[in-house]
Structure 1
Amino acid sequence: MIKRDLYYERIPTKSLREDVRYLGDVLGRVIKKQEGQSFFKLVEDTRLLSKANLANKHVKDPFKNILNKIKNLNPENTFKLARAFNHFMNFINLSETTDASRKLDEYENNKKNSNKNIFIEEIFEKLFKDKKITNKKIYDVAKKLNIGIVLTAHPTEVKRRTLIQKYNKIIKILEQRDLYKKNLSKLKTLDKDLYNEITIIWNTDELKRSKPTPSEEARWGLAVIEDSLWDSIPKVYRRLNNIFLKNMGKSLPRNFNPIEFGSWMGGDRDGNPNVTAKVTSEALLLSRWEAAKLYEKQLTNLIRSLSMKKCSTQILNITGKTFEPYRVFLRPLRDKLRATHILIKEHLVNKEPLDHKKLLSNTGEILTPLRVVRDSLIQNQSENIAEGDLLDLIRRARCFGINLAKLDIRQESSRHTKLISEIVKKKYNKDYFLWNESEKLAFLSSRIKSKKNLIKNSLLKNKENKEVWSTFNVLVDQPKECLGAYVISMTSAASDILSVAYLQKEAKIVNKLRVVPLFETLDDLRNAKSIMNSLFSLPWYRKSINYKQEIMIGYSDSSKDAGKLSASWHQYKLQDEILKLAKKYKIDITFFHGRGGSAGRGGGPIQATLKSQPANSVNGKIRITDQGEVIQQKYGYEPLAKYNLCSYIGAVVQATLNPPPEPKIKWKQLIEKMSEISMKSYRSNINEKSDFIRYFRTVTPHKALGKLSIGSRPSKRKNVDNIQSLRAIPWVFAWTQIRLFLPAWLGTTEALNYASSKVFKKILVDMEKNWPFFNSTMDILDMVISKVDPEISKVYENQLADKKLKIVGKKLRSQFETLKRLNKVITPFQIRKQRKVFRTSVIIRNIYSEVLHITQSIVMKKLTLKKLNKNKKQHLADALMTSIAGISAAMKNTG
Structure 2
Amino acid sequence: MLDAMSQESRFERTLSFLMRSFETVLIELGEADVAALLPWRSLWGGPGATEPDWPAEPSQRLLQACSIAFQFLNQAEENAVAQRRRRAEAQGMLAADAGSWDQHFARLAEAGRSPAEIARALGRLSVEPVLTAHPTEAKRQTVLEHHRALYRIIVELENDMWTEAERGAFEAGARACIEKLWRTGEIFIEKPTVADERRNILHYLTEVFPDTLPWIDNRLRAAWRRAGFEPALIGDALPRLSFGDWVGGDRDGHPFVDVATTRETLTVFRARALELQRRGLVEMAGALSLSGRLQPTPARLADWLAARVAALGEAGAAALRRNPVEPWRQAVNLMIAALPPAEGPPPPGAYRRAAELGADLALLRASLLDVGARRLAEQVLDPAARRVQVFGFHLAALDIRQNSAFHDRALGQMLAAVGEPDGHDYPGWSPARRHAVMARELGTPRPCVTPGRPIGEEADRTVGVLRVFAEHIRDRGTDGLGALIVSMTRTAEDLFAVFLLAREAGLLGYDDSAEGAGAPWCPLPVVPLLETIEDLENGTAILDRFLDEPIVRRSLRLQAVAAGHEEPVQQVMIGYSDSGKDGGFLASIWTLYRAQSAMAELGRRKGVRIRFFHGRGGTIGRGAGPTHRFLRALPPGTVRGGLRTTEQGETISQKFANRVTAAHQLELLLAGVLGATLEERKDPERLVRAMDGLAAAGRRAYEGLVQAEGFLAFFDRATPIDAIEQNRIGSRPSRRSGKRSLGDLRAIPWVFAWNQSRFGLPGWFGLGTAFADLQAREPEIFAALVRAKTEAHRWPPLHYLVSNAATAWAGASPEIMARYAALVEDEAIRARFLGVVLEEHARTGAMLAALYGGPVAETRPAIQQMIDRRNQALTPLHGRQIDLLRRWRGLRDGGRTGEAEALLPEILLSVNAVASGLGSTG
Q: Same fold (TM over 0.5)?
A: yes
Q: 1:238 aligns with which of 187, 197, 218?
A: 218
Change (3 A) 1:870 1:672: closer
Q: What are the Cα deviations for residues 491-520 of structure 1, in whole angstroms up to 9, with x where unaligned?
A: 000001111122223322246210010000
Please give the alpha-carbon distance, in whole angstroms, between the structure 2 residues aligned to 1:433 and 1:722. 22
Please give the alpha-carbon distance, in whole angstroms, between the structure 1 residues aligned to 2:444 and 2:39. 76
Contact 1:227-1:636 within 8 A present in 2 as well: no
Instruction: Show the counterpart of 1:188.
Output: 168
Please give the alpha-carbon distance, in whole angstroms, between the structure 2 residues aligned to 1:871 and 1:50. 42
Please give the alpha-carbon distance, in whole angstroms, between the structure 1 residues aligned to 2:98 and 2:384. 30
Instruction: Show the counterpart of 2:543.
Output: 532
Say yes or no: does 1:672 pair with 2:681: no
In angstroms, what is the RMSD of aligned CA positions? 2.8
Q: 1:636 aligns with which of 650, 654, 657?
A: 657
Please give the alpha-carbon distance, in whole angstroms, between the structure 2 residues aligned to 1:805 and 1:49. 42
Offset of residue 264 of structure 1: 0.6
Instruction: Show the counterpart of 2:881.
Output: 856
Change (3 A) 1:453 1:18: same
Please give the alpha-carbon distance, in whole angstroms, between the structure 1 residues aligned to 2:223 and 2:260. 45
Instruction: Show the counterpart of 2:518.
Output: none
Contact 2:877-2:914 within 8 A present in 1 as well: yes
Instruction: Show the counterpart of 1:544.
Output: 555
Change (3 A) 1:615 1:421: same
Q: Which amino acid aligns with 1:775?
A: H
Please give the alpha-carbon distance, in whole angstroms, between the structure 2 residues aligned to 1:175 and 1:234. 19
Please give the alpha-carbon distance, in whole angstroms, between the structure 2 residues aligned to 1:784 and 1:211. 29
Contact 1:612-1:772 within 8 A present in 2 as well: yes
Change (3 A) 1:699 1:181: farther
Please give the alpha-carbon distance, in whole angstroms, between the structure 2 residues aligned to 1:870 and 1:570. 45
Instruction: Show the counterpart of 2:337.
Output: 335
Please give the alpha-carbon distance, in whole angstroms, between the structure 2 residues aligned to 1:508 and 1:49. 64
Any idea what SS the aligned residue of 1:13 has? helix
Any idea what SS the aligned residue of 1:219 has? helix
Q: Which amino acid aligns with 1:97?
A: E
Contact 1:152-1:627 within 8 A present in 2 as well: yes
Offset of residue 301 of structure 1: 1.3
Q: 2:461 aligns with which of 467, 471, 478?
A: 467
Q: 2:754 aligns with which of 727, 730, 735?
A: 735
Q: 1:312 aligns with which of 263, 286, 298?
A: 298
The residue correspondences of 1:85-100 to structure 2 (distance < 5 A) are: 85-100=66-81
Instruction: Show the counterpart of 1:301.
Output: 283
Instruction: Show the counterpart of 1:438.
Output: 432
Instruction: Show the counterpart of 2:529.
Output: 518
Q: Which amino acid aligns with 2:301?
A: I
The residue correspondences of 1:77-476 to structure 2 (distance < 5 A) are: 78-113=59-94, 115-131=96-112, 133-180=113-160, 183-244=163-224, 247-252=229-234, 254=236, 256-310=238-292, 311-317=297-303, 318=305, 322-337=324-339, 340=341, 344=343, 354=344, 357=347, 361-431=352-422, 432-457=426-451, 460-476=454-470
Q: 1:579 aligns with which of 570, 577, 600?
A: 600
Structure 1, unpaired ranges of 5+: 1-9, 57-62, 345-353
Offset of residue 817 of structure 1: 1.3
Contact 1:745-1:781 within 8 A present in 2 as well: yes
Please give the alpha-carbon distance, in whole angstroms, between the structure 2 residues aligned to 1:863 and 1:819. 34
Instruction: Show the counterpart of 2:740.
Output: 721
Please give the alpha-carbon distance, in whole angstroms, between the structure 2 residues aligned to 1:703 and 1:653. 44
Please give the alpha-carbon distance, in whole angstroms, between the structure 2 residues aligned to 1:864 and 1:507. 49
Say yes or no: does 1:880 pair with 2:900: no
Contact 1:409-1:487 within 8 A present in 2 as well: yes
Q: 1:820 aligns with which of 833, 845, 849?
A: 845
Offset of residue 124 of structure 1: 1.1
Instruction: Show the counterpart of 1:348.
Output: none
Change (3 A) 1:428 1:607: same
Contact 2:188-2:729 within 8 A present in 1 as well: yes
Instruction: Show the counterpart of 1:347.
Output: none
Please give the alpha-carbon distance, in whole angstroms, between the structure 1 residues aligned to 2:843 and 2:539. 34
Q: 2:493 aligns with which of 492, 495, 511?
A: 495
Contact 2:585-2:763 within 8 A present in 1 as well: yes
Offset of residue 686 of structure 1: 1.2
Please give the alpha-carbon distance, in whole angstroms, between the structure 2 residues aligned to 1:390 and 1:560. 49
Please give the alpha-carbon distance, in whole angstroms, between the structure 1 residues aligned to 2:21 and 2:808. 32
The residue correspondences of 1:774-789 to structure 2 (distance < 5 A) are: 774-789=798-813
Q: 1:835 aligns with which of 843, 860, 864?
A: 860
Please give the alpha-carbon distance, in whole angstroms, between the structure 1 residues aligned to 2:40 and 2:897. 27
| TM-score, with length taken from structure 2 | 0.88
Contact 2:16-2:43 within 8 A present in 1 as well: no
Please give the alpha-carbon distance, in whole angstroms, between the structure 2 residues aligned to 1:340 and 1:100. 43
Give the paired residue count. 854
After the TM superposition, which of the residue ranges 828-837 and 539-548 deviates more from structure 2?
Answer: 828-837
Offset of residue 781 of structure 1: 0.7
After the TM superposition, which of the residue ranges 26-35 and 383-392 deviates more from structure 2?
Answer: 26-35
Q: Which amino acid aligns with 1:172?
A: R
Any idea what SS the aligned residue of 2:889 has? coil
Instruction: Show the counterpart of 2:645.
Output: 624
Contact 1:422-1:460 within 8 A present in 2 as well: no
Please give the alpha-carbon distance, in whole angstroms, between the structure 1 residues aligned to 2:218 and 2:500. 43
Q: 1:561 aligns with which of 548, 558, 582?
A: 582
| TM-score, with length taken from structure 1 | 0.90
Offset of residue 875 of structure 1: 6.5
Please give the alpha-carbon distance, in whole angstroms, between the structure 1 residues aligned to 2:114 and 2:858. 36
Please give the alpha-carbon distance, in whole angstroms, between the structure 2 residues aligned to 1:45 and 1:376. 61
Please give the alpha-carbon distance, in whole angstroms, between the structure 2 residues aligned to 1:256 and 1:813. 51
Change (3 A) 1:306 1:525: same
Any idea what SS the aligned residue of 1:516 has? strand
Any idea what SS the aligned residue of 1:689 has? coil
After the TM superposition, which of the residue ranges 558-567 and 528-537 deviates more from structure 2?
Answer: 528-537
Instruction: Show the counterpart of 1:4.
Output: none
Change (3 A) 1:70 1:865: farther
Please give the alpha-carbon distance, in whole angstroms, between the structure 2 residues aligned to 1:575 and 1:44. 48
Instruction: Show the counterpart of 2:22.
Output: 27
Q: Which amino acid aligns with 1:877?
A: L
Please give the alpha-carbon distance, in whole angstroms, between the structure 1 residues aligned to 2:592 and 2:39. 49
Q: Which amino acid aligns with 1:292?
A: L
After the TM superposition, which of the residue ranges 866-875 and 722-731 deviates more from structure 2?
Answer: 866-875
Contact 1:497-1:516 within 8 A present in 2 as well: yes
Structure with larger RCO (C-alpha < 8 A, sep 6+): 1
Q: Which amino acid aligns with 2:83?
A: R
Please give the alpha-carbon distance, in whole angstroms, between the structure 2 residues aligned to 1:14 and 1:375. 50
After the TM superposition, which of the residue ranges 391-400 and 853-862 deviates more from structure 2?
Answer: 853-862
Any idea what SS the aligned residue of 1:118 has? coil
Change (3 A) 1:460 1:99: same
Any idea what SS the aligned residue of 2:490 has? coil
Please give the alpha-carbon distance, in whole angstroms, between the structure 2 residues aligned to 1:504 and 1:182. 60
Contact 1:592-1:624 within 8 A present in 2 as well: yes
Q: What are the Cα deviations for residues 534-568 of structure 1, in whole angstroms up to 9, with x where unaligned?
A: 22334553333224211111100111011110111
Please give the alpha-carbon distance, in whole angstroms, between the structure 2 residues aligned to 1:215 and 1:38. 39
Contact 1:740-1:793 within 8 A present in 2 as well: yes
Please give the alpha-carbon distance, in whole angstroms, between the structure 2 residues aligned to 1:93 and 1:456. 57
Q: Which amino acid aligns with 1:340?
A: P
Q: What are the Cα deviations for residues 630-650 of structure 1, in whole angstroms up to 9, with x where unaligned?
A: 111111210111111111111
Contact 2:449-2:504 within 8 A present in 1 as well: yes
Instruction: Show the counterpart of 1:13.
Output: 8
Change (3 A) 1:239 1:26: closer
Q: Which amino acid aligns with 2:597?
A: D
Say yes or no: does 1:744 pair with 2:724: no
After the TM superposition, which of the residue ranges 100-109 and 223-232 deviates more from structure 2?
Answer: 100-109
Any idea what SS the aligned residue of 2:528 has? strand
Structure 2, unpaired ranges of 5+: 307-319, 510-521, 558-567
Offset of residue 688 of structure 1: 6.2
Offset of residue 263 of structure 1: 0.7
Contact 1:610-1:651 within 8 A present in 2 as well: yes
Contact 2:597-2:638 within 8 A present in 1 as well: yes
